[in-house]
Amino acid sequence: MIIFDIGVLMATTGIWKITTRLDHVINYVTNIDKTINANSYKELHNMKEYEKLDCNTEELCYVSSINCSTHNAYKDMMFTKEQYNKKDKILGYHAFQSFKEGEISADKAHLIGLKLAEEMWGDRFEVIVTTHVNTNHIHNHFVINSVSFKDGKKYHDSHESYSIMRNISDSLCEEYGLSVVQKESSLKSKVNYDNYYKGYVSRDNYHTLTKADIDRAIGMAYSYNDFENIMLKMGYEINIRYGKISIRKEPYKKNIRIERAFGSDYTIEAIEKRIENTLLPRVPFLEELNSNNKQKVKFKKKSNTNKNMSKLFNYYCYLLKVYPQKNPRKFLSKELQKEVKEMDKISEQTKLLLNNKIKTYEQLLLYKENLDTDIKELSSKREYLWKKYNKTKGEDTRISIKEEINTISKTINLKKKELKLCNGIESRSNVIEKNIEEIENTTDREKDMLK
Protein backbone atom coordinates (compact mmCIF):
# COMPACT_ATOMS: atom_id res chain seq x y z
CA MET A 1 0.00 0.00 0.00
CA ILE A 2 1.37 3.40 -1.02
CA ILE A 3 0.11 6.45 0.85
CA PHE A 4 0.92 10.11 0.26
CA ASP A 5 -0.33 13.23 1.95
CA ILE A 6 -1.71 16.05 -0.15
CA GLY A 7 0.06 19.41 -0.08
CA VAL A 8 3.37 20.53 -1.58
CA LEU A 9 3.72 23.68 0.54
CA MET A 10 3.79 21.96 3.92
CA ALA A 11 5.15 18.91 5.75
CA THR A 12 4.05 15.73 3.98
CA THR A 13 4.48 11.99 4.60
CA GLY A 14 4.21 8.72 2.71
CA ILE A 15 5.01 5.01 3.05
CA TRP A 16 5.25 2.00 0.75
CA LYS A 17 6.35 -1.61 1.02
CA ILE A 18 9.67 -3.09 -0.18
CA THR A 19 9.36 -6.55 -1.76
CA THR A 20 12.73 -6.80 -3.58
CA ARG A 21 16.33 -5.76 -2.86
CA LEU A 22 16.13 -4.20 0.58
CA ASP A 23 19.85 -3.46 0.30
CA HIS A 24 19.28 -1.26 -2.78
CA VAL A 25 16.79 0.92 -0.91
CA ILE A 26 19.15 1.27 2.06
CA ASN A 27 22.01 2.20 -0.27
CA TYR A 28 19.81 4.82 -1.95
CA VAL A 29 18.63 6.56 1.23
CA THR A 30 22.14 6.53 2.80
CA ASN A 31 23.88 7.86 -0.32
CA ILE A 32 26.62 10.20 0.96
CA ASP A 33 26.05 12.67 -1.90
CA LYS A 34 22.50 13.18 -0.66
CA THR A 35 23.12 13.18 3.10
CA ILE A 36 26.45 14.93 3.71
CA ASN A 37 26.52 18.44 5.13
CA ALA A 38 29.71 18.78 7.17
CA ASN A 39 29.25 22.47 7.99
CA SER A 40 25.84 22.03 9.58
CA TYR A 41 26.09 18.50 10.96
CA LYS A 42 28.08 19.45 14.08
CA GLU A 43 25.20 21.57 15.37
CA LEU A 44 23.03 18.45 15.61
CA HIS A 45 25.18 17.05 18.41
CA ASN A 46 24.87 20.28 20.38
CA MET A 47 21.11 19.86 20.66
CA LYS A 48 20.09 18.58 24.09
CA GLU A 49 17.10 16.79 22.57
CA TYR A 50 19.41 14.79 20.29
CA GLU A 51 21.43 13.55 23.26
CA LYS A 52 18.29 12.03 24.80
CA LEU A 53 17.50 9.96 21.70
CA ASP A 54 18.46 6.31 21.60
CA CYS A 55 20.24 6.31 18.24
CA ASN A 56 23.57 6.16 16.42
CA THR A 57 24.57 8.76 13.82
CA GLU A 58 27.23 8.43 11.15
CA GLU A 59 29.98 11.03 11.24
CA LEU A 60 29.51 14.07 8.96
CA CYS A 61 26.34 12.59 7.41
CA TYR A 62 22.66 12.77 8.29
CA VAL A 63 22.45 8.99 8.53
CA SER A 64 21.22 7.57 11.84
CA SER A 65 20.01 4.20 13.02
CA ILE A 66 17.66 2.98 15.72
CA ASN A 67 18.13 -0.57 17.09
CA CYS A 68 20.77 -1.37 14.46
CA SER A 69 24.15 -0.19 13.16
CA THR A 70 24.45 2.64 10.62
CA HIS A 71 27.22 0.81 8.74
CA ASN A 72 25.69 -2.68 8.84
CA ALA A 73 21.97 -1.91 8.83
CA TYR A 74 21.20 -4.37 6.02
CA LYS A 75 23.10 -7.21 7.73
CA ASP A 76 21.41 -6.46 11.07
CA MET A 77 17.97 -6.50 9.47
CA MET A 78 18.66 -9.74 7.58
CA PHE A 79 20.02 -11.30 10.76
CA THR A 80 16.71 -10.53 12.49
CA LYS A 81 14.80 -12.09 9.58
CA GLU A 82 16.96 -15.23 9.75
CA GLN A 83 16.43 -15.50 13.51
CA TYR A 84 12.67 -15.75 12.97
CA ASN A 85 12.83 -17.43 9.53
CA LYS A 86 10.94 -14.61 7.81
CA LYS A 87 12.98 -13.63 4.75
CA ASP A 88 10.28 -13.62 2.08
CA LYS A 89 7.34 -11.50 0.90
CA ILE A 90 7.52 -7.95 2.32
CA LEU A 91 11.15 -7.23 3.28
CA GLY A 92 10.65 -3.79 4.72
CA TYR A 93 8.99 -0.41 4.35
CA HIS A 94 10.25 2.84 2.87
CA ALA A 95 8.71 6.01 4.30
CA PHE A 96 9.42 9.69 3.78
CA GLN A 97 8.75 13.02 5.47
CA SER A 98 9.15 16.20 3.42
CA PHE A 99 9.14 19.81 4.62
CA LYS A 100 8.19 23.16 3.13
CA GLU A 101 11.01 24.72 1.12
CA GLY A 102 13.19 27.09 3.14
CA GLU A 103 11.30 26.48 6.38
CA ILE A 104 13.69 24.14 8.20
CA SER A 105 17.39 23.44 8.68
CA ALA A 106 18.93 20.04 8.02
CA ASP A 107 19.74 19.62 11.73
CA LYS A 108 16.18 20.21 12.84
CA ALA A 109 14.77 18.06 10.03
CA HIS A 110 16.98 15.15 11.06
CA LEU A 111 16.10 15.60 14.74
CA ILE A 112 12.37 15.56 13.91
CA GLY A 113 12.88 12.49 11.71
CA LEU A 114 14.62 10.66 14.56
CA LYS A 115 11.84 11.55 16.98
CA LEU A 116 9.22 10.33 14.52
CA ALA A 117 11.07 7.04 13.97
CA GLU A 118 11.66 6.44 17.67
CA GLU A 119 8.02 7.06 18.59
CA MET A 120 6.58 5.16 15.61
CA TRP A 121 8.85 2.11 15.37
CA GLY A 122 11.62 2.41 18.00
CA ASP A 123 10.19 -0.05 20.53
CA ARG A 124 10.11 -3.06 18.15
CA PHE A 125 11.81 -2.45 14.79
CA GLU A 126 15.19 -1.63 13.28
CA VAL A 127 15.11 1.67 11.41
CA ILE A 128 17.46 3.73 9.26
CA VAL A 129 16.76 7.49 9.28
CA THR A 130 18.41 9.75 6.69
CA THR A 131 17.99 13.39 5.71
CA HIS A 132 18.53 14.34 2.06
CA VAL A 133 19.90 17.85 1.69
CA ASN A 134 20.75 17.79 -2.02
CA THR A 135 17.45 19.36 -3.18
CA ASN A 136 15.53 22.56 -2.40
CA HIS A 137 13.08 20.55 -0.31
CA ILE A 138 14.84 19.00 2.69
CA HIS A 139 13.24 15.62 3.38
CA ASN A 140 13.71 12.53 5.54
CA HIS A 141 13.77 8.89 4.46
CA PHE A 142 13.04 5.91 6.70
CA VAL A 143 13.76 2.24 6.01
CA ILE A 144 11.98 -0.03 8.46
CA ASN A 145 12.65 -3.76 8.81
CA SER A 146 9.42 -5.67 8.29
CA VAL A 147 10.30 -8.12 11.11
CA SER A 148 10.44 -7.03 14.75
CA PHE A 149 13.70 -7.77 16.58
CA LYS A 150 11.70 -7.98 19.79
CA ASP A 151 9.11 -10.65 19.02
CA GLY A 152 9.56 -11.67 15.36
CA LYS A 153 6.16 -10.33 14.35
CA LYS A 154 5.82 -8.47 11.06
CA TYR A 155 4.94 -4.81 10.79
CA HIS A 156 1.34 -4.37 9.67
CA ASP A 157 0.93 -1.37 7.38
CA SER A 158 -2.67 -0.16 7.37
CA HIS A 159 -4.78 2.98 7.26
CA GLU A 160 -4.64 3.07 11.06
CA SER A 161 -0.84 2.72 11.29
CA TYR A 162 -0.43 5.42 8.68
CA SER A 163 -2.83 7.70 10.54
CA ILE A 164 -0.62 7.30 13.63
CA MET A 165 2.53 8.09 11.62
CA ARG A 166 0.96 11.15 10.05
CA ASN A 167 -0.34 12.37 13.40
CA ILE A 168 3.08 12.04 15.05
CA SER A 169 4.67 13.89 12.11
CA ASP A 170 2.12 16.71 12.21
CA SER A 171 2.43 16.99 15.99
CA LEU A 172 6.22 17.24 15.83
CA CYS A 173 5.99 19.88 13.09
CA GLU A 174 3.54 21.89 15.20
CA GLU A 175 5.86 21.63 18.20
CA TYR A 176 8.69 23.12 16.12
CA GLY A 177 6.50 25.80 14.51
CA LEU A 178 6.43 24.21 11.04
CA SER A 179 3.65 23.93 8.46
CA VAL A 180 1.44 20.82 8.37
CA VAL A 181 -1.21 19.48 6.01
CA GLN A 182 -4.43 21.35 6.71
CA LYS A 183 -7.65 19.43 7.37
CA GLU A 184 -9.29 21.01 4.33
CA SER A 185 -6.61 19.45 2.10
CA SER A 186 -6.58 16.08 3.83
CA LEU A 187 -10.38 15.77 3.56
CA LYS A 188 -9.99 15.59 -0.24
CA SER A 189 -8.59 12.10 0.28
CA LYS A 190 -11.03 9.20 0.00
CA VAL A 191 -9.78 7.92 3.37
CA ASN A 192 -10.57 9.86 6.56
CA TYR A 193 -7.39 9.27 8.55
CA ASP A 194 -8.65 11.42 11.44
CA ASN A 195 -11.34 8.83 12.14
CA TYR A 196 -8.76 6.01 12.06
CA TYR A 197 -6.61 7.92 14.54
CA LYS A 198 -9.56 8.61 16.86
CA GLY A 199 -10.44 4.93 16.81
CA TYR A 200 -6.87 3.99 17.70
CA VAL A 201 -6.77 6.48 20.61
CA SER A 202 -10.07 5.20 22.03
CA ARG A 203 -8.80 1.57 22.06
CA ASP A 204 -5.13 1.97 22.96
CA ASN A 205 -4.43 1.16 26.62
CA TYR A 206 -1.60 3.71 26.93
CA HIS A 207 -3.84 6.53 25.69
CA THR A 208 -6.87 5.62 27.82
CA LEU A 209 -4.82 5.34 31.04
CA THR A 210 -3.02 8.60 30.28
CA LYS A 211 -6.28 10.45 29.67
CA ALA A 212 -7.63 9.16 33.00
CA ASP A 213 -4.46 10.32 34.79
CA ILE A 214 -4.68 13.78 33.19
CA ASP A 215 -8.32 14.16 34.23
CA ARG A 216 -7.45 13.08 37.78
CA ALA A 217 -4.53 15.54 37.94
CA ILE A 218 -6.74 18.40 36.69
CA GLY A 219 -9.27 17.61 39.41
CA MET A 220 -6.66 17.54 42.17
CA ALA A 221 -4.64 20.59 41.08
CA TYR A 222 -5.13 24.10 42.46
CA SER A 223 -3.10 25.75 39.67
CA TYR A 224 -1.66 24.84 36.28
CA ASN A 225 1.84 24.55 37.78
CA ASP A 226 0.44 22.20 40.40
CA PHE A 227 -1.13 20.14 37.58
CA GLU A 228 2.32 19.72 36.00
CA ASN A 229 3.81 18.80 39.37
CA ILE A 230 1.14 16.13 39.91
CA MET A 231 1.76 14.64 36.45
CA LEU A 232 5.51 14.52 37.14
CA LYS A 233 4.94 12.72 40.44
CA MET A 234 2.71 10.24 38.61
CA GLY A 235 5.71 9.34 36.41
CA TYR A 236 5.07 11.43 33.28
CA GLU A 237 7.57 13.52 31.35
CA ILE A 238 6.13 16.85 30.17
CA ASN A 239 7.30 18.89 27.20
CA ILE A 240 5.77 22.19 26.04
CA ARG A 241 6.77 23.82 22.78
CA TYR A 242 4.85 26.51 20.86
CA GLY A 243 2.06 26.19 23.42
CA LYS A 244 1.52 22.46 22.72
CA ILE A 245 1.76 19.89 25.52
CA SER A 246 3.20 16.43 24.93
CA ILE A 247 3.68 13.84 27.67
CA ARG A 248 5.26 10.40 27.93
CA LYS A 249 5.52 7.69 30.54
CA GLU A 250 8.00 4.83 30.73
CA PRO A 251 8.24 2.23 29.26
CA TYR A 252 6.41 3.72 26.25
CA LYS A 253 8.32 5.38 23.42
CA LYS A 254 5.44 7.48 22.13
CA ASN A 255 4.86 11.06 23.23
CA ILE A 256 1.16 11.81 23.47
CA ARG A 257 0.21 15.27 22.20
CA ILE A 258 -2.79 15.59 24.43
CA GLU A 259 -4.63 18.27 22.46
CA ARG A 260 -4.42 16.24 19.24
CA ALA A 261 -5.21 12.96 20.96
CA PHE A 262 -8.00 14.05 23.32
CA GLY A 263 -9.42 17.27 21.88
CA SER A 264 -9.74 20.97 22.67
CA ASP A 265 -10.44 20.34 26.38
CA TYR A 266 -6.73 19.57 26.79
CA THR A 267 -5.09 22.83 25.68
CA ILE A 268 -3.21 24.77 28.35
CA GLU A 269 -6.00 27.38 28.48
CA ALA A 270 -8.71 24.72 28.75
CA ILE A 271 -6.83 22.88 31.51
CA GLU A 272 -6.52 26.12 33.51
CA LYS A 273 -10.27 26.72 33.25
CA ARG A 274 -11.04 23.10 34.18
CA ILE A 275 -8.83 23.39 37.26
CA GLU A 276 -10.91 26.35 38.39
CA ASN A 277 -14.16 24.40 38.02
CA THR A 278 -13.20 20.85 39.03
CA LEU A 279 -12.71 19.46 42.51
CA LEU A 280 -11.36 16.02 43.46
CA PRO A 281 -9.77 14.81 46.71
CA ARG A 282 -6.02 15.40 46.78
CA VAL A 283 -4.23 12.05 46.91
CA PRO A 284 -1.09 11.94 49.11
CA PHE A 285 2.02 10.19 47.73
CA LEU A 286 1.07 10.78 44.09
CA GLU A 287 4.05 8.80 42.80
CA GLU A 288 2.41 5.67 44.25
CA LEU A 289 -0.92 6.41 42.56
CA ASN A 290 -2.38 3.54 40.59
CA SER A 291 -4.69 4.71 37.83
CA ASN A 292 -6.78 1.55 38.10
CA ASN A 293 -7.64 2.05 41.77
CA LYS A 294 -9.81 4.92 42.92
CA GLN A 295 -8.52 6.55 46.05
CA LYS A 296 -11.04 6.97 48.88
CA VAL A 297 -10.63 9.89 51.26
CA LYS A 298 -12.51 10.14 54.54
CA PHE A 299 -13.31 13.60 55.84
CA LYS A 300 -13.36 14.49 59.50
CA LYS A 301 -16.35 16.26 60.93
CA LYS A 302 -15.90 19.72 62.34
CA SER A 303 -15.30 19.78 66.04
CA ASN A 304 -17.68 22.00 67.95
CA THR A 305 -15.48 21.85 71.03
CA ASN A 306 -12.40 23.44 69.54
CA LYS A 307 -12.94 26.18 66.96
CA ASN A 308 -9.23 26.88 66.54
CA MET A 309 -8.46 23.25 65.74
CA SER A 310 -11.37 23.19 63.31
CA LYS A 311 -10.03 26.23 61.49
CA LEU A 312 -6.57 24.71 61.31
CA PHE A 313 -8.02 21.47 59.91
CA ASN A 314 -9.96 23.41 57.24
CA TYR A 315 -6.84 25.34 56.31
CA TYR A 316 -4.89 22.14 55.69
CA CYS A 317 -7.82 20.69 53.75
CA TYR A 318 -7.64 23.80 51.58
CA LEU A 319 -3.89 23.42 50.98
CA LEU A 320 -4.18 19.70 50.24
CA LYS A 321 -7.40 20.14 48.26
CA VAL A 322 -9.41 17.53 50.12
CA TYR A 323 -12.62 19.51 50.65
CA PRO A 324 -15.92 17.60 50.46
CA GLN A 325 -17.95 18.27 47.30
CA LYS A 326 -20.58 20.26 49.26
CA ASN A 327 -18.06 22.88 50.42
CA PRO A 328 -17.53 26.00 48.28
CA ARG A 329 -14.37 26.08 46.16
CA LYS A 330 -11.52 28.29 47.37
CA PHE A 331 -8.53 29.44 45.35
CA LEU A 332 -4.91 30.17 46.10
CA SER A 333 -3.59 33.59 45.19
CA LYS A 334 -0.73 33.83 42.71
CA GLU A 335 1.60 34.81 45.53
CA LEU A 336 0.62 31.76 47.59
CA GLN A 337 0.93 29.48 44.52
CA LYS A 338 4.48 30.75 44.08
CA GLU A 339 5.25 30.09 47.74
CA VAL A 340 3.86 26.53 47.52
CA LYS A 341 6.03 25.83 44.48
CA GLU A 342 9.06 27.17 46.32
CA MET A 343 8.22 24.96 49.31
CA ASP A 344 8.16 21.90 47.07
CA LYS A 345 11.62 22.79 45.78
CA ILE A 346 12.98 23.30 49.28
CA SER A 347 11.45 19.98 50.34
CA GLU A 348 13.31 18.12 47.56
CA GLN A 349 16.57 19.85 48.46
CA THR A 350 16.11 19.04 52.15
CA LYS A 351 15.54 15.36 51.39
CA LEU A 352 18.77 15.27 49.40
CA LEU A 353 20.75 16.82 52.28
CA LEU A 354 19.25 14.47 54.87
CA ASN A 355 19.55 11.29 52.78
CA ASN A 356 23.22 11.97 52.03
CA LYS A 357 24.08 13.44 55.47
CA ILE A 358 25.38 16.70 54.00
CA LYS A 359 25.93 19.18 56.84
CA THR A 360 28.58 21.60 55.56
CA TYR A 361 29.22 23.66 52.45
CA GLU A 362 32.40 21.67 51.78
CA GLN A 363 30.45 18.39 51.90
CA LEU A 364 27.98 19.81 49.39
CA LEU A 365 30.76 20.78 46.96
CA LEU A 366 32.34 17.33 47.34
CA TYR A 367 28.99 15.64 46.67
CA LYS A 368 28.53 17.80 43.55
CA GLU A 369 32.01 16.88 42.33
CA ASN A 370 31.29 13.17 42.86
CA LEU A 371 28.01 13.48 40.95
CA ASP A 372 29.74 15.17 38.04
CA THR A 373 32.42 12.44 37.97
CA ASP A 374 29.79 9.69 38.11
CA ILE A 375 27.84 11.23 35.22
CA LYS A 376 30.97 11.44 33.04
CA GLU A 377 31.99 7.84 33.85
CA LEU A 378 28.49 6.48 33.21
CA SER A 379 28.24 8.41 29.93
CA SER A 380 31.57 6.94 28.84
CA LYS A 381 30.44 3.44 29.79
CA ARG A 382 27.17 3.91 27.88
CA GLU A 383 29.08 5.01 24.78
CA TYR A 384 31.28 1.90 25.03
CA LEU A 385 28.21 -0.34 25.37
CA TRP A 386 26.65 1.20 22.27
CA LYS A 387 29.76 0.34 20.26
CA LYS A 388 29.69 -3.18 21.69
CA TYR A 389 25.98 -3.45 20.88
CA ASN A 390 26.56 -2.50 17.23
CA LYS A 391 29.29 -5.14 16.85
CA THR A 392 27.39 -7.95 18.58
CA LYS A 393 25.37 -10.42 16.48
CA GLY A 394 23.73 -12.67 19.09
CA GLU A 395 20.18 -11.48 19.82
CA ASP A 396 20.24 -12.48 23.51
CA THR A 397 23.49 -10.62 24.05
CA ARG A 398 22.14 -7.53 22.23
CA ILE A 399 19.04 -7.52 24.43
CA SER A 400 21.19 -7.83 27.56
CA ILE A 401 23.43 -4.95 26.46
CA LYS A 402 20.40 -2.80 25.61
CA GLU A 403 18.91 -3.38 29.07
CA GLU A 404 22.22 -2.35 30.67
CA ILE A 405 22.27 0.81 28.52
CA ASN A 406 18.72 1.69 29.60
CA THR A 407 19.63 1.18 33.27
CA ILE A 408 22.67 3.46 32.92
CA SER A 409 20.56 6.13 31.18
CA LYS A 410 18.05 6.15 34.04
CA THR A 411 20.89 6.46 36.58
CA ILE A 412 22.41 9.37 34.65
CA ASN A 413 19.05 11.18 34.62
CA LEU A 414 18.66 10.74 38.38
CA LYS A 415 22.16 12.03 39.05
CA LYS A 416 21.56 15.04 36.78
CA LYS A 417 18.43 15.81 38.78
CA GLU A 418 20.43 15.63 42.03
CA LEU A 419 23.09 17.90 40.52
CA LYS A 420 20.39 20.47 39.73
CA LEU A 421 19.15 20.29 43.33
CA CYS A 422 22.71 20.77 44.59
CA ASN A 423 23.08 23.91 42.46
CA GLY A 424 19.85 25.23 43.96
CA ILE A 425 21.09 24.52 47.49
CA GLU A 426 24.40 26.24 46.78
CA SER A 427 22.64 29.29 45.39
CA ARG A 428 20.20 29.39 48.30
CA SER A 429 22.99 28.95 50.90
CA ASN A 430 24.75 32.09 49.68
CA VAL A 431 21.57 34.12 50.16
CA ILE A 432 20.98 32.64 53.63
CA GLU A 433 24.57 33.39 54.63
CA LYS A 434 24.13 37.05 53.64
CA ASN A 435 20.86 37.28 55.57
CA ILE A 436 22.46 35.79 58.70
CA GLU A 437 25.38 38.20 58.38
CA GLU A 438 22.97 41.17 58.16
CA ILE A 439 21.04 39.93 61.23
CA GLU A 440 24.28 39.52 63.21
CA ASN A 441 25.45 43.03 62.23
CA THR A 442 22.07 44.49 63.25
CA THR A 443 22.23 42.66 66.61
CA ASP A 444 25.76 43.94 67.25
CA ARG A 445 24.64 47.52 66.52
CA GLU A 446 21.70 47.19 68.89
CA LYS A 447 24.01 45.86 71.65
CA ASP A 448 26.36 48.79 71.16
CA MET A 449 23.45 51.23 71.47
CA LEU A 450 22.37 49.62 74.79
CA LYS A 451 25.82 49.97 76.35
Q: CATH number for the domain including 439?
A: 1.20.58
Q: Is residue 18 part of a domain?
A: yes
Q: Is residue 356 part of a domain?
A: no
Do both 155 and 44 map to the same domain?
A: yes
Do both 270 and 137 map to the same domain?
A: no
pLDDT in tens, 258-269: 888 888 899 999
Do both 18 and 163 map to the same domain?
A: yes
Residues 66, 402: Cα–Cα separation, whole Å: 12
HSE-up of residue 63 (Cα within 13 Å, Cβ side): 22
Do both 78 and 163 map to the same domain?
A: yes
Do both 116 and 193 map to the same domain?
A: yes
Predicted confidence band of residue 130 (pLDDT cuts 50, 70, 90): very high
Burial of 63 (0-12, 13-18, 19+ CB in 10 A): buried
pLDDT in tens, 267-287: 999 999 888 877 665 555 555
Structural domain boundaries enclosing 419: 361-450
Give percent of the chain with pLDDT exceeding 70.
Answer: 72
Do both 186 and 39 map to the same domain?
A: yes
Report the range of poorest mean pLDDT among 67-76, 174-183, 338-347, 408-417: 338-347
Q: Is residue 342 part of a domain?
A: no
Do both 7 and 151 map to the same domain?
A: yes
Q: Hey, which residues does 238 pair with through a beta bridge?
A: 247
Do both 55 and 186 map to the same domain?
A: yes
Q: Hey, which residues does 97 pair with through a beta bridge?
A: 13, 140
Do both 53 and 109 map to the same domain?
A: yes
Q: Is residue 338 part of a domain?
A: no
More confident residue, 272 or 322: 272
Q: Are 65 and 40 a contacting pair, CB within 8 Å?
A: no
Closest CA to 128 of 56, 62, 54, 65: 65
Do both 22 and 149 map to the same domain?
A: yes
CATH of the domain at 74: 3.30.930.30
How many domains in the chain?
3
